[in-house]
Amino acid sequence: MKPFVYITRKIPSEIVENLQSNFEVEMWEREDSPVPRTILLEKSKKASALFTVLSDNVDQELFEVSSELKVVANMAVGFDNIDLNAANEKGIAICNTPDVLTETTADLTFALLMATARRVVEAAQFVREGEWKSWSPLLLAGTDIHHKTIGIVGMGSIGEAVAKRAKGFDMEILYHNRSRKQKAEEELGAVYTELDELLKRADFVVCLAPLTAETKGLFQKEQFRMMKKSAIFINAARGPIVNEENLYEALQNKEIAGAGLDVFDKEPISADHPLLTLKNVVALPHIGSSSRETRYNMMMLCVENINLILNGDKPKTLVNKEWLGKEK
């Protein structure tokens, strides 16, 4: 019997075909809604591999029922939806999709920064609604980006790619990260600072840190209060890093000037979410890596990792190095 592979979201058939010659493959056939938990658990029982997306909760309960499972290939660089300790206990390989999405996610992050600073969404809406009556000196005036200070919190490869873009805009680049980034310091002139100092000095605070026990709730009342009143906050990482109520209050009370958000605490948000009542918020539906080229490459990387592991080889992008040497 061929090993069974379950794909938790509808993906193009030309990608699925890469698995079908070697494996029995099934897929949740909806693009716009996640696989129901009961079905995910049911399919996991016999799956040797799961192709998952970031809204799937891959937890201990799932690992407990999955007696055949060898690999979870998660179509994201982040893997906060997966219980790594439980995976390690069961000797299951967890793979993600780093690198292939770096530049695309940096593009979107910078686009969000620019859109928020220059009020692009509000201005486009203004034209569509027939509000544009004449040119006027301060019509929809935003704030400059060039020659300002960007503060990047989480200087991984996406952070560095954002810094590269910021350098092109002659920005001063501050960063805060668990470890120093020599290359970014030497090549981009990025300056390491403590978080508080970064928050006080940056015109744009850009969150690109992974969601971990340390970063959960990192941005709260106190952090927003430290920022300049003119500061713009960008989050293209994970929603739970930010206390959304505190962010709302900071925006409402004009403690900061605006926010560009690609991620939220609970996704998707509904149209009556309080943050959407604020004009100085640009909200996107978690599309950081969403270019056709990059999403294709992410899917193909998941397929490659599944093929490699089920053929007894090492995957290309393993998250839990603990798995090595304990291969099932």
- List residues near ligand DGY by CB under 6 A: 54, 76-78, 101, 288-289
Query: Is 267 a catalytic site residue?
Result: yes
Nearer to ligand DGY, 78 or 260 (CB): 78
Identity of residue 44:
S
Query: Is 61 a catalytic site residue?
Result: no
Catalytic residue among 14, 68, 131, 267: 267
Q: Whole-angstrom Cα distance, residue 72 to residue 42?
A: 15
The answer for 17, left when phi > 0, alpha when psi is -120 to 50, beta otherwise, is alpha
Identity of residue 296:
Y
Minimum distance, C-beta of residue 17 to ligand DGY, in the bound complex (Å): 24
Nearer to ligand DGY, 88 or 157 (CB): 157
Nearer to ligand DGY, 141 or 213 (CB): 213
Longest dimension (CA), the chain: 72
Query: Is 160 a catalytic site residue?
Result: no
Q: Whole-angstrom Cα distance, residue 312 to residue 318?
A: 14
Catalytic residue among 165, 176, 201, 286: 286
The answer for 109, left when phi > 0, alpha when psi is -120 to 50, beta otherwise, is alpha
Q: Is the peptide bond before 315 cis (omega within 30 degrees of 0)?
A: no
Minimum distance, C-beta of residue 110 to ligand DGY, in the bound complex (Å): 15
At 153, give phi and psi (nearest 5°). Answer: -105, 110
CB 301 within 8 A of CB 318: no
Minimum distance, C-beta of residue 217 to ligand DGY, in the bound complex (Å): 18
Catalytic residue among 238, 244, 255, 295: 238
Minimum distance, C-beta of residue 25 to ligand DGY, in the bound complex (Å): 23
State the number of CA atoms in the 13 A half-sphere of 80 facing the CB.
Answer: 15
Q: Whole-angstrom Cα distance, residue 182 to residue 192?
A: 10
Minimum distance, C-beta of residue 195 to ligand DGY, in the bound complex (Å): 22
Nearer to ligand DGY, 11 or 77 (CB): 77
Nearer to ligand DGY, 101 or 250 (CB): 101
Helices (H), the chain: 13-20, 37-46, 60-65, 84-90, 102-117, 120-128, 157-168, 182-188, 195-201, 221-226, 244-252, 292-310
Nearer to ligand DGY, 101 or 184 (CB): 101
Active-site residues, by number, are 238, 267, 286
